């Protein structure tokens, strides 16, 4: 396989880090092992990074703090979190901070590869999108260029969208003014890692609301439908 993506694994465990790196190299990725946030920072300076595999339990600066920093500095950089089994609260906080996927330890190496491939596909540049991606849509005070993965407010400022934000918003604008169950949201976004009966979908919706709603506490665009799911409540216009 041609090397096309560079991945940094942030993991302090001296067995897991090299093993994951070797797994990714065998699958055709350019992979680097970083044992701390400072080593990740150095890797980010040296070359372009396409995805970060981030362990939450790290000495010094923990994974949640690193995730927060990465989202502030590089909103579109995909992040796959690794969490210890049972650390539900940390996983939820990580998703709220903008991680694109998560996997609990101990994990199946093939599942990790599948998660990484899926996140990279969702974060693919416009040139790799199919015909469905070449759309410019208007809703409320926004223009959403799906091909460029760009959301722009009428006042001119651009909204930073993570891969997860993009997935969810693209799904909503393609199914406007229709109540969607959590099961349908999982299916339409192809987010198999989202759990219907936990807070993953709700966290993603809440994070997107904070970016596009005038008042996230009283959403006018993304409405919760009790016992139903979610409704994108405004019309969507296709632009030339």
Taking the C-alpha atoms of residue 182 and residue 180, their distance in angstroms, rounded to an integer, is: 7
The model's pTM is: 0.62
How much is the mean pLDDT over the chain?
85
Q: How many domains, in total, are found in the chain?
A: 2
Query: Do 112 and 147 sit in the same domain of this protein?
Result: no
The H or E element containing residue 54 is strand 51-55
In a domain, 193, yes or no: yes
Query: Do 68 and 144 sit in the same domain of this protein?
Result: no
In a domain, 130, yes or no: no
Say if strands 79-84 and 51-55 run parallel, antiparallel, or are unpaired: parallel
The order of strands in the sheet holding 142-145 is 158-159, 150-153, 142-145, 136-139, 237-238
* Per-residue pLDDT band at 24 (split at 50, 70, 90): very high
Is the confidence at residue 127, as pLDDT, over 70?
no
* pLDDT tens readout for residues 189-225: 766 556 544 577 888 899 999 999 999 999 999 999 9
Tell me which residue range forms the domain holding 199. 136-239
Taking the C-alpha atoms of residue 220 and residue 223, their distance in angstroms, rounded to an integer, is: 7
In a domain, 32, yes or no: yes
Helix intervals (H) in the chain: 16-26, 37-46, 63-73, 88-97, 109-122, 163-174, 182-189, 200-212
Q: What is the DSSP track for 2-33?
A: ----EEEEE---TTHHHHHHHHHHHTT-EEEE
- Token pair, residue 227, equals 């016992």
In a domain, 223, yes or no: yes
* Per-residue pLDDT band at 129 (split at 50, 70, 90): very low
Position 213 scores a pLDDT of 96
* pLDDT tens readout for residues 55-65: 988 988 999 99
Position 8 scores a pLDDT of 96
Position 2 scores a pLDDT of 44
The average pLDDT across 131-139 equals 70
* pLDDT tens readout for residues 48-85: 899 999 998 898 899 999 998 888 777 678 999 998 76
The H or E element containing residue 238 is strand 237-238
Q: Is-contact 238 227, C-beta < 8 A?
A: no
Chain-centre distance for alpha carbon 60 = 25
* Per-residue pLDDT band at 128 (split at 50, 70, 90): very low
Is the confidence at residue 39, as pLDDT, over 90?
yes
* Per-residue pLDDT band at 92 (split at 50, 70, 90): confident
């Amino acid at each position: 396989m041609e090397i096309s993506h560079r991945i940094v694994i942030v993991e302090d465990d001296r067995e897991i880090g090299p093993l994951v790196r070797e797994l990714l190299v065998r699958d055709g990725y350019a992979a680097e092992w970083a044992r701390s946030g400072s080593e990740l920072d150095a890797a980010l300076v040296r070359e372009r990074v396409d995805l970060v595999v981030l362990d939450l339990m790290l000495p010094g600066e923990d994974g949640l703090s690193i995730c927060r920093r990465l989202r502030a500095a590089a909103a579109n950089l995909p992040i796959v979190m690794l969490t210890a089994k049972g650390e539900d609260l940390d996983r939820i906080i990580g998703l709220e901070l903008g991680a694109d996927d998560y996997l609990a330890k101990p994990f199946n190496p093939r599942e990790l590869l599948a998660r990484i491939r899926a996140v990279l596909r969702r974060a693919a540049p416009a040139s790799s999108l199919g015909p469905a991606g070449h759309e410019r849509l208007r809703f409320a005070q926004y223009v959403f260029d799906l091909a460029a993965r760009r959301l722009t407010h009428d006042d001119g400022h651009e909204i930073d969208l993570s891969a997860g934000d993009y997935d969810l918003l693209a799904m909503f604008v393609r199914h406007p003014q229709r109540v969607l169950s959590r099961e349908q949201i999982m299916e339409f976004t192809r987010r198999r890692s989202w759990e219907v009966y936990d807070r993953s979908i709700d966290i993603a919706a809440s994070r997107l609301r904070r970016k596009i709603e005038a008042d996230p506490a009283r959403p006018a665009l993304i409405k919760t439908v009790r016992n139903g799911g979610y409704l994108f409540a405004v019309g969507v216009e296709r632009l030339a």
